[in-house]
A = this chain, B = another copy of it.
């Protein structure tokens, strides 16, 4: 029902009306033509067009010249950063995500870690090992290294809650960007038992370097994902 002398614009009322109609239709179904709406509600065709245009811009309808206006196919929503987190990803597939912290300790950086974080060998770093599970079954092993002189007073609880919030809100550091590399490899003996796979099975190796706004690396993460069970998803906006 459309009320003509309401303070709510007619085109807006019609938008609501059409949204209701669309609820009872399937993607691809046609809606009434512009002239039909115009006559049915006794409003101008241009006003009908305004309502439909807005719904087209919202991705609810699709116009096809000469044919009509149709209910759009389901819209795909993209997560903010472009990268879906493990937890989101698992949940979207109907699996229950769980993260177990296997170890948390402060160690002296060896040559390899020091090179990755571009710090001097021997500078203390936090080492955090995590096991990622989906529906109780292991999906990935993650080992993170964080320089203890930048990320100060880190605790196991903080790591388990939200590391990034701690860095930005408690330490007042500004996170700038991260670089992630993915590569396909074969499982090594040492990783097999914990991921419950066989030597030579396909695995996805992911390395992430995270940087502060001053250019310092504050995190190096090396992950091993089961290749047979995990797909990495990226959404890209244009």
A234 and B235: CB pair below 8 A?
A: no
A19 an interface residue at 8 Å Cβ cutoff?
no
A115 an interface residue at 8 Å Cβ cutoff?
no
A234 and B231: CB pair below 8 A?
A: no
List the one stretch of A79-87, A103-111, A130-138, A150-158 in contact with chain B.
A79-87
B81 and A236: CB pair below 8 A?
A: yes
A169 an interface residue at 8 Å Cβ cutoff?
no
Shortest distance between the CB of A165 and any CB in chain B (Å): 13
A21 an interface residue at 8 Å Cβ cutoff?
no
A177 to B234, CA, bound (A): 11
This protein's copies in its complex:
2
User: In A59-102, which residues have CB < 8 Å from any B CB?
Assistant: 59, 62, 72-83
B233 and A181: CB pair below 8 A?
A: yes
Taking a contact as CB atoms closer than 8 A, the residue among B77, B81, B118 that contacts A82 in the complex is B81
A39 an interface residue at 8 Å Cβ cutoff?
no
Cβ-closest chain B residue relative to A183: B231
In the complex, what residues of B have CB within 8 A of residue A175's CB?
238
A194 an interface residue at 8 Å Cβ cutoff?
no
Shortest distance between the CB of A113 and any CB in chain B (Å): 17
B183 and A237: CB pair below 8 A?
A: no
A186 an interface residue at 8 Å Cβ cutoff?
yes
Cβ-closest chain B residue relative to A224: B184
A179 and B215: CB pair below 8 A?
A: no
B178 and A62: CB pair below 8 A?
A: no
A146 an interface residue at 8 Å Cβ cutoff?
no
B184 and A237: CB pair below 8 A?
A: no
Cβ-closest chain B residue relative to A78: B177
B184 and A76: CB pair below 8 A?
A: no
A62-B214, A177-B237 given; A232·B76 CB < 8 A: no
What are 7 inter-chain pairs, A to B, with CB distance below 8 A?
A59-B215, A76-B179, A81-B238, A176-B238, A177-B236, A202-B203, A202-B227
The 5 closest A-B pairs by CB, nearest first: A184-B227, A184-B204, A184-B184, A182-B232, A184-B202
